[in-house]
Amino acid sequence: MIDDMLRTPEAIRDAERWTAHNYHPLPVVITSAEGCWLTDVDGRRYLDCLAGYSALNFGHRHPTLIAAAHAQLDRLTLTSRAFVHDQFADFCRELAELCGKDLVLPMNTGAEAVETGIKVARKWGYQVKGVAPGRANIVVAEGNFHGRTTTIVSFSTDADARADFGPYTPGFTVVPYGDLAALTAAIDENTVAVLIEPIQGEQGVVVPPEGYLPGVRRVCTEQDVLFIADEIQSGLGRTGATFACDHEGVVPDMYLLGKALGGGIVPVSAVAADADVLGVLRPGQHGSTFGGNPLACAVATEVVRLLATGEFQRRSAELGDRLHAGLRSLLGRGLVAVRGRGLWAGLDIDPTLMSGREACERLAERGVLAKDTHGATIRLAPPLVITEAEIDHAVAQLAAVLAG
């Protein structure tokens, strides 16, 4: 009788009936949220430990970001790039300064930022490096996740992302992640860029060996190749620094940004680079109707200002230490590995106990939301506004799930 009164089962049935099955969500139907907490259609509350794959770094409905969105909604939401609007320059300037770069090119989704980076790198290769027409090559890493467009899945090594979407786009060489020797050997006279994630999120929050990123930087400089860092998930405070590259003092030639840049309100992405790289573009060669729209810029400018204080980077570093200490205490008690940096962790569950999906379902029953990937791995990425008590609560619920 009680189950018949719940709204969740019907809402899930309707979603499955009317949408393509490109996701396999947990059986939770959210209706409202604030900070780190979500409420479903039946009034149950959950601690969000996924944060929209890092799109909600500042939590749900951060008051500064909501205020900026409301104010802009009352004035202007879209002009297209046919005109300039009064929010555009401030956003581009402040983001460029945060990145330490000359220029910014705003787009919408993370995949668009990656596609933009690929196009810019190729054009730079032809116009600046002198690569023969049609020969440009980009070196990428196994286990990558840069998006799901046809070009991007062409160099994916994930069968689910890639299979049956060919013919595939040429121009990419895949090497093992974290293997500097293999990366170096793959570079030739036609290589225009190395495109990597400083930490591979979708793969299970995989951190490369110490010295790998500085090595990539050195090799790219020596070989006259652009170093493109996909910081769409790892950037903007997630790892305890503004960018994951910062942990090893590495500055790439190009940052690819997204997710948290929109404050969990609107999709915002961007490419940041110096003028000798982004300056190869000319009017009509690349664009987006909604890229850099007034609403997006108003929200994203406030995101940049929140990060400029350093508060969220510090919170991620300090609270991340607490999160990882708690998770490591579960090694040998159901967990076989813990990886990550800051408020970002990949957990490998003993596969003889349960799958990652089953663990996430049991966590949801206990009021904690996380996401599985690649079988027995769970990713945790709570909003950076989470408290010590909430971290302890999440770890305690995980411990209870692992204990059976």
Parallel/antiparallel/unpaired status of strands 345-349 and 377-380: antiparallel
Say which of 101, 123, 129, 259 is annotated catalytic.
259
Structure tokens that stand for 299 in this block: 């929200």
Quote the CA–CA distance of 215 and 239 in Å, as a whole number: 20
Q: Which of the four pLDDT bands, split at 50, 70 and 90, describes residue 5?
A: confident
Whether 347 and 24 have beta carbons less than 8 Å apart is answered as: no
Q: For 92, list phi and psi in degrees, rounded to 5.
A: -65, -40
Q: Which of the four pLDDT bands, split at 50, 70 and 90, describes residue 2?
A: very low
> For the segment 47-66, what is each residue's pLDDT rounded down to a tens digit?
999 999 999 999 999 999 99
> For the segment 82-119, what is each residue's pLDDT rounded down to a tens digit?
999 999 999 999 999 999 999 999 999 999 999 999 99
> For the segment 316-362, what is each residue's pLDDT rounded down to a tens digit?
999 999 999 999 999 999 999 999 999 999 999 999 999 999 999 99
User: CB atoms < 10 A from the CB of 279, how many?
Assistant: 15
| Opening angle at CA 262, ends 261 and 268, nearest 5 | 85
Domain positions in the chain: 7-62+311-403, 63-308
User: Annotated catalytic, 145?
Assistant: yes
Name the DSSP class of 60. B
CATH match for 63-308 among 3.40.640.10, 3.90.180.10, 3.30.230.10, 3.40.47.10: 3.40.640.10
Q: Is the pLDDT of residue 1 over 50?
A: no
Q: pLDDT at position 4, please?
A: 62
Q: pLDDT at position 388, please?
A: 98
Q: pLDDT at position 374, please?
A: 92
**Which residues, 6 or more positions from 394, have their beta carbon under 8 angstroms from its beta carbon?**
47, 49, 323, 368, 380, 382
- For residue 82, CA distances in Å to 77, 197, 295, 297, 327 come to 14, 33, 16, 16, 51
- For residue 348, CA distances in Å to 218, 232, 270, 334, 335 come to 32, 23, 32, 9, 6
Torsion of CA 380, 25, 271, 222, to 10 degrees: 60
Structure tokens that stand for 272 in this block: 């940041």
> For the segment 200-259, what is each residue's pLDDT rounded down to a tens digit?
999 999 999 999 999 999 999 999 999 999 999 999 999 999 999 999 999 999 999 999
**Whole-number average pLDDT of the chain:** 97
Parallel/antiparallel/unpaired status of strands 30-34 and 191-196: unpaired
Residue among 221, 226, 247, 243 at smallest CA distance from 234: 243
**Which amino acid would we find at residue 60?**
H
Q: Which strand (E) or helix (H) includes residue 140?
A: strand 137-141
> For the segment 274-298, what is each residue's pLDDT rounded down to a tens digit?
999 999 999 999 999 999 999 999 9
CA 203 to chain centre: 12
Say which of 230, 253, 348, 372 is annotated catalytic.
230
Structure tokens that stand for 377 in this block: 């791995």
Where b means 16+ CB within 10 Å and e means fewer, 21-50 reads eeeeebebbeeebebbbbebbeebebbbbb
H helix count then E strand count, the chain: 15, 15
Quote the CA–CA distance of 215 and 97 in Å, as a whole number: 25
User: Annotated catalytic, 58?
Assistant: no
Residue among 84, 104, 83, 109 at smallest CA distance from 94: 104
Higher pLDDT, 3 or 400: 400
> For the segment 243-267, what is each residue's pLDDT rounded down to a tens digit?
999 999 999 999 999 999 999 999 9
Parallel/antiparallel/unpaired status of strands 371-373 and 226-230: unpaired
Torsion of CA 382, 312, 257, 215, to 10 degrees: -100
Q: pLDDT at position 194, please?
A: 99
User: Annotated catalytic, 371?
Assistant: no
Name the DSSP class of 367. T
Say which of 58, 88, 91, 145 is annotated catalytic.
145
Whether 260 and 267 have beta carbons less than 8 Å apart is answered as: no
| DSSP states along 163-213 | TT-PSPP--EEEE-TT-HHHHHHH--TTEEEEEE-SSBTTTTSBPPPTTHH
CATH 3.40.50.12780 fits 7-62+311-403, yes or no: no
Burial bucket for residue 367 (CB in 10 Å: 0-12, 13-18, 19+) = middle
Average pLDDT over residues 167-178: 98
CA 307 to chain centre: 16
Largest CA distance in the chain: 72
Whether 367 and 47 have beta carbons less than 8 Å apart is answered as: yes
Q: Which of the four pLDDT bands, split at 50, 70 and 90, describes residue 3?
A: low
Quote the CA–CA distance of 51 and 28 in Å, as a whole number: 15
**Percent of all residues in the chain with a pLDDT value above 70, rounded to a whole number:** 99
